[in-house]
């Protein structure tokens, strides 16, 4: 019984698995190897499965902070105390070693092997695919962290450029990041490729709107209700209801084709670019942290809130990770 207890403490494996491992092995090292091989077999067998559940944790210590996620297949495993404890032990080791990459974390010593070995062993115990993900770090003068509703599914962390007496300041911004999901601190942090893509999308959307307006105006001028012709399905159903005829559909389709082509060929490019730039600026305002509307006071931006605490106070870095698709 002492060997079973010791093996469970060493590996975190279940009682039945430890009994079988000891029965199949000559000594403790052999039992550990048995459990590790079992984990490797499970991991290989389930490698094509999706690990969409898991545990996300965040920790800050001595000016260094990290987020990590240990992913699995079901919420039943994700909420298991041993699974959460393993995630925490991995994060503790990563922060203590100030690891910069996920590969560095996987290579850290943990228990009788490495972090990667511990994850594989846990996979063998639970019978589910497991993988580490989302590892990111920040450093700073003052770091605040937030585990959203303490549910281990969404974590944020941020660094301020100077220490503030009220810890709520950092937590409030960490909650802002969780809620509003900014992509950068300010516009300078948004990659040019993202700006270019947003502008391109905005231009195409603006063009489509101008064409749609011209089409609707032409349909109205012809004496029809544009709402009756706004899609093939509506045309078909409205025709079945007797609201419009096949001849009406043919005439309106001809109007749509002609007006769309004419408008596209004579698009006011300067106006379109102006509208698109307005959309881009709105995107930047809504997605850059310092210009976002502060969730605790709609009359302030995040930047204005921080300046109300200290005129030099700002965010120097932040990270956010969630398991949920957004």
Interval 189-205: pLDDT, tens: 999 999 999 999 999 99
| pLDDT single digits (tens) 159-195 | 999 999 999 999 999 999 999 999 999 999 999 999 9
Concatenated DSSP letters of 33-98: HHHHHHHHHHHHHTTTS---EEEEEEEEETTEEEEEEEEES-HHHHT-HHHHHHHHHHHHHHHHHT
Q: How far is CA 46 from CA 41, 129, 254, in A?
A: 9, 6, 55
pTM of the full predicted structure? 0.80
In a domain, 303, yes or no: no
In a domain, 131, yes or no: no
**Predicted local distance difference test score (pLDDT) of residue 43:** 60
Query: Domain total for the chain?
Result: 2
In a domain, 69, yes or no: no
In a domain, 136, yes or no: no
CA dist., res. 242 & res. 239, Å (int): 5
CATH number at residue 19: 1.10.8.10
In a domain, 239, yes or no: yes
In a domain, 281, yes or no: yes
Which residues constitute the domain of residue 19?
2-45
In a domain, 9, yes or no: yes
Q: What is the mean pLDDT of the chain?
A: 92
In a domain, 24, yes or no: yes
**Predicted local distance difference test score (pLDDT) of residue 40:** 62
Give the pair of three-digit tokens for residue 178.
Answer: 């969780």
| pLDDT single digits (tens) 51-89 | 899 999 999 999 999 999 999 999 999 999 999 999 999
């Amino acid at each position: 019984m002492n060997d079973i207890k010791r093996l469970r403490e060493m590996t975190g494996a279940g009682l039945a698995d430890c009994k079988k491992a000891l029965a199949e092995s000559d000594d403790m090292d052999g039992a550990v190897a048995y459990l590790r091989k079992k984990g490797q077999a499970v991991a290989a067998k389930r490698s094509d499965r999706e690990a969409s559940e898991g545990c996300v944790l965040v920790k800050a210590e001595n000016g260094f902070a990290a987020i990590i996620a240990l992913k699995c297949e079901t919420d039943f495993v994700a909420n298991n105390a041993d699974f959460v404890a393993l995630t925490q032990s991995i994060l503790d080791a990563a922060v203590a070693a100030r690891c910069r990459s996920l590969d560095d974390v996987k290579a850290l010593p943990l228990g009788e092997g490495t972090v990667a070995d511990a994850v594989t062993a846990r996979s063998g115990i639970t019978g589910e695919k497991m993988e580490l993900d989302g590892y990111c770090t920040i450093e700073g003068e003052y770091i605040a962290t937030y585990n959203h509703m303490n549910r281990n599914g969404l974590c944020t962390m941020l660094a301020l450029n100077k220490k503030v007496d009220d810890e709520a300041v950092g937590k409030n911004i960490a909650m802002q990041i969780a809620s509003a999901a900014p992509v950068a601190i300010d516009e300078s942090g948004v990659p040019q490729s993202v700006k270019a893509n947003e502008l391109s999308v905005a231009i195409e959307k603006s063009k489509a709107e101008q064409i749609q307006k011209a089409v609707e105006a032409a349909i109205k001028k012809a004496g029809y209700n544009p709402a009756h012709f706004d899609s093939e399905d509506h045309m078909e159903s409205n025709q079945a209801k007797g609201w419009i005829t096949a001849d009406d559909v043919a005439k309106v389709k001809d109007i749509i084709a002609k007006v769309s082509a004419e408008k596209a060929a004579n698009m006011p490019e300067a106006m379109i670019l102006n509208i698109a730039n307005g959309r881009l600026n709105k995107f930047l305002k809504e997605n850059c942290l310092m210009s976002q509307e502060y969730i605790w006071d709609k009359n302030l931006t995040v930047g204005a809130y921080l300046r109300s605490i200290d005129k030099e106070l700002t965010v120097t870095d932040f990270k956010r990770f969630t398991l949920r698709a957004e």
